[in-house]
Amino acid sequence: MNWLKKIFGLGLPCLFHSLTGLYCPGCGGTRAVRSLLRGDLRMSFQYHPLVLYAVFVLFLELFLWAFSKGRKTPMDKKRARILILAGAAITVANWIFKNYMLVIKSVDLLPPFK
């Protein structure tokens, strides 16, 4: 586990956040992955919900692939489009909500990783 700490302990500050004081759409993603690897789903979701969504989609697609392997059908393009749009919507909603909470309510939803 020490090697994981070295890899994920390298955190670079967000240039967008440093320049504007606002969060970028990806702010919190690395901390979300680190929290997920530690098993803290609540903090992973709070840092960036797209990470848990991506894990859910990955397992869903693996499950569907395993049961359609005999038919050798590629991923349905309509389903792929829906999953990508849902991920984009999660990212935009998260970005707006976190900046709203930061600017209007003065609540920082991205506490430093411990």
What pLDDT, on a 0 to 100 scale, did the predictor assign at position 4?
53
* Residue 82, domain member (yes or no): yes
* Residue 20, domain member (yes or no): no
pTM: 0.82
* Residue 94, domain member (yes or no): yes
Low-confidence ranges of the chain (pLDDT < 70): 1-12, 69-75, 113-114
* Domains contained in the chain, number: 1
Residue 48 is part of which domain span?
Answer: 25-103
Give the count of beta carbons closer than 10 Å to the beta carbon of residue 108.
Answer: 11
* Residue 37, domain member (yes or no): yes
* Residue 56, domain member (yes or no): yes
Give the tens place of pLDDT for each residue, 55-73.
999 999 888 878 876 666 6
* Residue 112, domain member (yes or no): no
